[in-house]
Amino acid sequence: MAVVESGHAGRHWRRRLFLGVLCVVVGSAILVRRQSRIPSGQVQRADGSQTRGVHTIQSSTTTGRRGAYYLPSDHESGELPLLVILHGTGGKGADILVRVSTIADRKRFIVIAPDSASVTGAWLVEQRSDGASEDYRHVMQCVREVLALPGVRIDRAHVLIAGFSVGSGAAFYIASREDLFTAFAILHGHVVTDAIGPRRIRGWLSTGDRDRLRTGESMRATADHLLRVAGFSDIETRVFLVDHALREAELTSLVEWWLQ
């Protein structure tokens, strides 16, 4: 037998139901908003976890991509080395920054990890652009932004720009043109020898023994060209037990070489 609400009782029941649903909706919205906020000084990883000390770059590309930077605790206490690191295809600065933030905290250096302008993660620094490409400009804008922060002072003798995979070409291109950098690193990447700028600074080339994209033989050939043909005098070449990926052993070795 169906029960039919009548008159005042029915209206009262419907009002209580409406208020109950409204409370659930509002409460859920507040909860979602709180959960979506990332506390100051943190950047969210791809897996949803967060890393303290990592901040979002404010400078933006025309595609809305930015990047991230890392400041060790008590960074205002003195001059610190600076690492600028460029991600590979499909990556973002915050993702590759997570890989080096632990080392940066232990060894005490600042890290800047810009995003490429392309949403695919590719980098474009054409030989004829003379520094005018958007990726080139964005990298340097990110650097200037962080260096302008209160309390940030860098050790000008230790400024490294490194790139992983496709990011290495952009890193080398910029390093050979910008006076700020004292060293460059090519991680599982390549060098366009026709696009080398006028500067000859110390460099690092590394890859993995199982890397089919950038083999040890190709990296050694590139190092030989830089030394014998391009006029470089200090090039370090290493091969690690890994495929086309960055692991802590490689990153730690790079940092030790850079800061020695």
Going by C-alpha positions, the residue among 172, 152, 155, 156 that lies closest to residue 164 is 172
Q: Kind of pairing, strands 54-56 and 67-70?
A: antiparallel
Residue 19 in this model has a pLDDT that exceeds 60: no
Task: Name the percent of the chain lying above pLDDT 70.
Answer: 78
Distance CA(214)–CA(188), nearest Å, equals: 6
* pLDDT tens readout for residues 125-143: 866 545 579 999 999 999 9
- Residue reference for tokens 């409370």: 23
- Residue reference for tokens 């720009």: 161
**Inside any domain, residue 3:** no
Q: What's the pLDDT at 130?
A: 57
Q: Kind of pairing, strands 110-114 and 67-70?
A: antiparallel
Based on the domain organization, do 30 and 142 belong to the same domain?
Answer: no
Residue 21 in this model has a pLDDT that exceeds 90: no
Higher pLDDT, 49 or 107: 107
Based on the domain organization, do 56 and 156 belong to the same domain?
Answer: yes
Q: How many domains does the chain have?
A: 2
Q: What's the pLDDT at 250?
A: 98
**Inside any domain, residue 24:** yes
Based on the domain organization, do 99 and 139 belong to the same domain?
Answer: yes
* pLDDT tens readout for residues 47-86: 333 456 799 999 999 999 999 999 998 888 899 999 999 9
Distances (CA, A) of 2 to 5, 12, 93, 156, 212: 10, 19, 63, 83, 73
Q: Kind of pairing, strands 54-56 and 42-44?
A: unpaired
| Burial of 68 (C-beta count, 10 Å sphere; 0-12/13-18/19+) | buried
Based on the domain organization, do 14 and 53 belong to the same domain?
Answer: no
